[in-house]
Amino acid sequence: MPFKLFEVDKEIPDREKHIYVKDEADPVEHIPKCNSKTIPGCMTERGCAFAGVKGVITGAVKDVVHVVHSPVGCTTYGCGSKRYPTSPDLPNGGKFPVENFNLKYIMGTDLKESDVVFGGMKKLRQSILEAAKEFPYVNAIYTYATCTTGLIGDDMEAVAKELSEETGKDIVTFNAPGFSGPTQSKGHHVGNLTLFNKLVGTKEPPETTPYDINLIGEYNIDGDLWVIKPYFEEMGINILSTFTGDCSHDEICWMHRAKLSLVRCQRSATYIAKLIEEKYGVPYIKVDFFGPKYCAENLRAVGKYFGKEAEAEKVIESRMKKIQAELEFYREKLEGKTVWVFSGGPKNWHIPQPLEEHLGMKTVAVSTMFEHEDGYEKIKERVGEGTVIIDDPNSLELEEIIEDYKPDIILSGIKEKYIAHKMGTPCMLIHSYENGPYMGFEGFINLARDIYASIYSPVWNMLEFDEMGEE
Amino acid sequence: MQDNMIKTENLCILDKKFAVINPCKMCQPMGAVQALLGVKGAMPIIHGSQGCSTYMRFQLCRHFREPINVSSTSMSEGTVVYGGEGNLLKALSTIWKEYNPEIIGVTSSCLTETIGDDMALIIKKFKNSHPDEDLPPIVPINTPSYSGSHVDGYDKAVKSLVENLAHPEGKNKKINIIPGMISSGDVAEIKNMLDELNVGSIFLTDNSESLNAPLNDDVAFLPDEGAEVEEIRDSANSIATISLSKHADSAAMFLQKKYGIKSISGPLPVGIRNTDQFIGYITKITGTKIPKSIEKDRGIMIDAIVDAHPYNYDREVAIYGDPDVVTGMARFICELGMIPSVVCTGTQSSRFVQDMENIAEENDFSPVILAGRDLYDLHQQIKCMDLELLIGNSYGARIAKSEDIPLLRMGFPVYDRLGAQRISILGYKAGIRMVDIITNTILENYYDESGHEFTNFNEISC
């Protein structure tokens, strides 16, 4: 009985296909139904395609200004919401004048009723020109279609083309209105295709080395990238382009010049790695970089590819030495604790094994908002027997998972966090972190520290009224 | 934004005319959802793509740090072409069966307004297809995101609730209170004052407990406190309606027109004068006497202001956010002897401009009034002035940091501090705390550890 209908889903029996309990005896193709339309009214945690492209893919680029072609809401909500820090360093050795520019500014066309009736092209044109005027130092302008502009059919491409010449800046249009696709995943795809088609191959890097790599699907959440970057530097490997954590616009343009691509978030960015391989013959390998074991495996694979095995071993050894004592401390504290991982996608298969192998924790439930079949296959392979795997859980299912599987900790997003807390279950953020970074060897210690601190917070012992005065 | 209203004295050059940079407003459904979260057992649905409800839940969660459920009709390519009727019908059915709400509020979005879905008609169809069932009230709220702002969305939601539910039946001797988008703490302050005055009330709506809930091992998926559907029905039988926020008075106007219930619009009871006015209305309408406890609170607040004055007077302040909070705070800031030199709201409102001009005239100063502008304009303006305090939401924290001016956080959203829903500014009690907080912020930033103002003695000429 691999699929499971939750008690709360009696009225929406279609949910049964989305919830699978791992059983080794089942055929491989038994995975949750996924990447399909949400049941209306189901209280999904999913977002929209615009959020997928701006929030995930392009929001991390440091030197572009974003012009959201929309009524005001999408612009406000799209402002600096994901924790993607950037440094001012540019590949040509220069400095971008505003630190964390990508988190500080967002522009929009602020469409009004008359624009909806008569079209928003004029407003878009004016806004792009103002973007170029107010932020003359940006290296490109990215514009986004949204639900309204997708419907009224504004020819954003034409405006972008015309103004690219006029302003002398790349103007890139992303056509992922909110209603397209079943989840934000559609926006990731559009983002990949757009950046590949319009930018990759259009510029040459200032210099190349035989050890240039693309680090794809790494967005520098709370500094994740900055933890693993030194590993490569110490190995003599040069990150030519990051897609897109702390990256500059130009880096995307010369991704074709790398010798190898590494793909970390394989849900949101395998597309571009494949396209670059097909067109330019740059091979790619899939990496995790969460937890010491995967980190070591990934570094060894890169070392092997470039004939730098010894350098890889040196990095691994130095980092293991650095974290060993702390790792042992946290393992002692966390052994046997249970966890539920609810991520957008990949952290469902990045996290469970490191938690088990290094900390002795048991993953009792995993769930994603927007994984596809290939992701669920990986998840199924990597979680233990009896783990429940849920596609797009709704709010009531969250409660049932907590009650039935009783996780000691939940790793999820902010919308779930306060539901879990009200039920007395600690929950920490795994999409954007509160106290990251969590990637790499050192990042894993941060993750372990936060899990430990959340579970062992003194507050959980005070939920019951303590009648001190009673004799 | 061609027709922005800007008072020109002291104005910097703001030549950005078309684009919005870092908006100082949100879209209509956000306001409507906030009103619905103050109704007991209410489930808000946004008829649009699922990003709308997810983005708003994200904003609301990080502000209130509470579970927030807002449903979506999850519109997609196919349904956009053929209309959203099927999605809305399915969503209503799912919500009704799964969550058993006491009331469902359906807001539209830019998407469904653009394709022209008739929500009232679709809701009627849903009801007709369940003739024998005991359905909860389902209220349509038209909130096209391409007009107005979240402030209008809140106003429309309360109006729709009243239009659809209010039912005349006898008299109830209560006063309807429409809070507007204020914190749970502020709604609680007003409720406490009315208790002290011994006046019965109906709050339209009431987030005082639904968005500031205890942790007790139990999670409420729908607000388990708040205005009850029965109370909203009973609002047609009250003595009067006071809209604390002027920009949220459409429901009050409706009740006045249809049922002859007196409507009073604002001002938001922030500071001494505005609170006096509020208490004055209540005593006039009900004939109740001002109790000693309230007189005492007022006296303590006056005492605090007197104590604070040497530190605060003549210091220039910028205030930004929702129009009623900005004008309320501006008047209060003047009472402290300070000068609200720049005020900014994202909402275009002639009422806001008029109120600010009145406050300016009353206090003899000329502020820069930015109405229908954004935080980028505010920042440009602040750069060419010499301000000592900012008051507003977390979106202004970047301005505060880059200009090295302390920021007093209030309004929505406040996501970089704890306790956003407990920040209270209304009435005398909260006012006393606010005088302390404002003054201590000034002391912290401009005075030394022995309580003396930092002075550059080299600059003093004899």
Split at pLDDT 50, 70, 90, the class of B11 is low
A244 and A308, same structural domain?
yes
Q: Residue A137: pLDDT above 80?
A: yes
> What is the extent of the structural domain holding A171?
49-181
Pair type for strands A19-21 and A107-108: unpaired
Residue-wise pLDDT tens digits, B160-186: 999 999 999 999 999 999 999 999 999
Question: Which chain B residue has its CA at the smallest distance from A128's CA?
Answer: B19
Q: How far is CA A248 from the centre of its chain?
A: 18
Contact A128, A158 (CB under 8 A): no
Which residue range is the domain that position B315 belongs to? Answer: 292-461
The whole-number pLDDT of residue B68 equals 95
Look at residue B332 in the predicted model and tell me its pLDDT. 98
Residue B458 CB partners (closer than 8 Å, separation 6+) = none
Q: What is the pLDDT of residue B2?
A: 36
Tens of pLDDT, residue by residue over A272-282, are: 999 999 999 99
pLDDT, one tens digit per residue, over B232-257 is 999 999 999 999 999 999 999 999 99
Q: Does any CB of chain A come closer than 8 Å to the CB of residue B236?
A: no
Instruction: Examine the domain organization and report whether A160 and A216 are in the same domain.
Output: no
Give the separation between CA A419 and CA A340, rounded to whole angstroms: 14
Whether residue B91 sits in one domain with residue B39: yes
Is residue B377 located within the same domain as residue B437? Answer: yes
Mean pLDDT, to the nearest integer, of A204-217? 97
Query: Of the candidates A41, A48, A72, which has its C-beta nearest B45's C-beta?
Result: A41
Compute the average pLDDT of residues A363-381: 95
pLDDT computed for residue B452 by the predictor:
87
Contact call for A147 and B49, based on CB within 8 A: yes
| pTM, 2 dp | 0.96
Q: Does B169 touch chain A (CB under 8 A)?
A: no
Please indicate, yes or no, whether residues B89 and B125 belong to a single structural domain of this protein.
yes
Contacts of B221 in chain A (CB under 8 A): 395-396, 399
Are B41 and B103 in a shared domain?
Answer: yes
> What's the pLDDT score for residue A1?
56
Alpha helices in A288-372 (DSSP H): 292-306, 309-334, 347-350, 352-359
Q: Which residues, including other chains, have CB under 8 Å from residue A439's CB and lie 6 or more apart?
A: A224, A225, A227, A228, A289, A290
Nearest CB among A105, A113, A178 relative to B21 is that of: A105
Residues near B395 by beta carbon (within 8 Å), at least 6 away in sequence: A79, B22, B24, B375, B413
Quick one: pLDDT at residue B460?
62
Task: Give CA A71 to chain center in angstroms.
Answer: 26
Q: If you count them, how many residues does chain A have?
A: 471
Q: Is B13 on the interface with A (CB under 8 A)?
A: no
Record: contact A116-B97, CB cut-off 8 A: no
Residues B439 and B339 both lie in one domain: yes
What band does A334 get if pLDDT is binned at 50, 70 and 90?
very high
Q: Does B367 touch chain A (CB under 8 A)?
A: no
Residues in chain A within 8 Å Cβ distance of B219: 399, 419, 422-423
Q: Which of residues 308-337 of B touch A (CB under 8 A)?
A: none
List the structure tokens of A68: 């959201």
Chain A CB within 8 Å of residue B49 CB: yes
Q: How much is the pLDDT for B325? A: 98
Q: Rounded mean pLDDT of A294-302?
A: 98
Residues B258 and B308 grouped into a single domain: no
Residue B395's SS3 state is helix
Claim to verify: residue A62 and residue A153 sit in the same structural domain: yes
Bridge partners of residue B138, in order along the sequence: B104
Instruction: Categorize the per-residue pLDDT at B17 as very low, low, confident or very high, splitting at 50, 70 and 90.
Output: confident
Q: Please answer whether residues B329 and B418 qualify as being in contact, where contact means their C-beta atoms are separated by less than 8 angstroms.
A: no
Q: What is the pLDDT of residues B378-390, one digit of tens each?
A: 999 999 999 999 9
Amino acid occupying residue A71: P
Among chain A residues, the shortest Cα distance to B29 is held by: A73
Model pLDDT for residues A43-58, shown as the tens digit of each residue: 899 999 999 999 999 9
| Mean pLDDT value of segment B362-390 | 96
Q: Is residue B432 located within the same domain as residue B304?
A: yes
Residues of A in contact with B94 (CB under 8 A): 11-12, 39-42
Between A450 and A470, the more confident residue is A450
Residues B74 and B139 in one domain: yes
Task: Tell me how far apart the alpha carbons of residues B424 and B332 are, in angstroms, rounded to a whole number.
Answer: 14
Residue with tokens 């006063």: B175
B contacts of A45 (beta carbons < 8 Å): 54
Mean pLDDT of A97-124: 95
B2 and chain A: CB distance < 8 Å anywhere? Answer: no
Question: Is there a contact between A411 and A447 (Cβ–Cβ < 8 Å)?
Answer: no
Nearest chain B residue to A146 by CA distance is B111
Instruction: Tell me how close the Cα of A366 comes to any Cα of chain B, in angstroms.
Output: 20
Give chain A positions within 8 Å (CB) of B95.
Answer: 41
Shortest distance, CA A316 to any CA of chain B (angstroms): 37
User: How many domains does chain B fold into?
Assistant: 3
Q: At what angle do helices A121-134 and A156-167 cross, to 10 degrees?
A: 30
Residue B406 included in any domain = yes
Question: Residue B333 sits in a domain of what CATH number?
Answer: 3.40.50.1980
Give the domain CATH number at A172.
3.40.50.1980
Check A130 against B17: CB less than 8 A apart.
yes
Residue B71, in any domain of the structure: yes
- Band (pLDDT 50/70/90 cuts) for residue B1 is very low
Strands B5-6 vs B368-371: parallel, antiparallel or unpaired: antiparallel
B73 at interface of A, judged by CB pairs closer than 8 A: yes
Confidence of residue A108 (pLDDT cuts 50, 70, 90): very high
Q: Is the pLDDT of residue B5 over 70?
A: no
Instruction: Determine the pLDDT at residue A470.
Output: 56
Residue A375 lies in a domain: no
How confident is the model at residue B461, as a pLDDT?
57
Is the pLDDT at B462 greater than 90? The verdict is no
* CA pseudo-torsion sign A288, A289, A290, A296: positive
Are A176 and A235 contained in the same domain? Answer: no
Chain-chain contact of A134 with B16 (C-beta, under 8 angstroms): yes
How confident is the model over A176-204, as a mean pLDDT?
97
CB A47 within 8 A of CB A183: yes
pLDDT in tens, B394-440: 999 999 999 999 999 999 999 999 999 999 999 999 999 999 999 99
The residue of chain B with its CA nearest to that of A51 is B51
Q: Which of A107-116, B11-20, B67-76 has the lowest mean pLDDT?
A: B11-20
**Into how many domains does chain A fold?**
2
Is the pLDDT higher at B43 or at A29? B43
Largest CA distance in chain A: 84
pLDDT > 90? residue B146? yes
Query: Domain end: B236, B271, B286, which one?
Result: B286
Where does the pLDDT of residue A79 fall: very low under 50, low under 70, confident under 90, or very high at 90 and above? confident
C-alpha A82/C-alpha A52 separation (Å) is 11
Is A148 close to B111, i.e. CB distance below 8 A? yes
Domain boundary among A181, A204, A232: A181
For residue B3, the model assigns a pLDDT of 40
Edge-first strand listing for the sheet containing B339-345: B5-6, B368-371, B339-345, B316-320, B389-392, B407-409
Q: Shortest CA distance to B123 belongs to which of B96, B143, B146?
A: B96
* pLDDT of B262 above 90: yes
Mean pLDDT, rounded, of chain B? 94
CA distance A136 to chain B (A): 14
The answer on A219 and A173 residing in a single domain is no
Q: Please indicate, yes or no, whether residues B250 and B392 belong to a single structural domain of this protein.
A: no
- Between CA B112 and CA B143 the distance in angstroms is 10
**Is A79 in contact with B215 (Cβ distance < 8 A)?**
no
Rg over alpha carbons for chain B, rounded to the nearest Å, is 23
Q: Provide the residue type at A259 as one letter.
A: K
Nearest CA in chain B to A422: B215
Contacts of A381 (CB under 8 A, 6+ apart): A349
CA distance A121 to chain B (A): 12
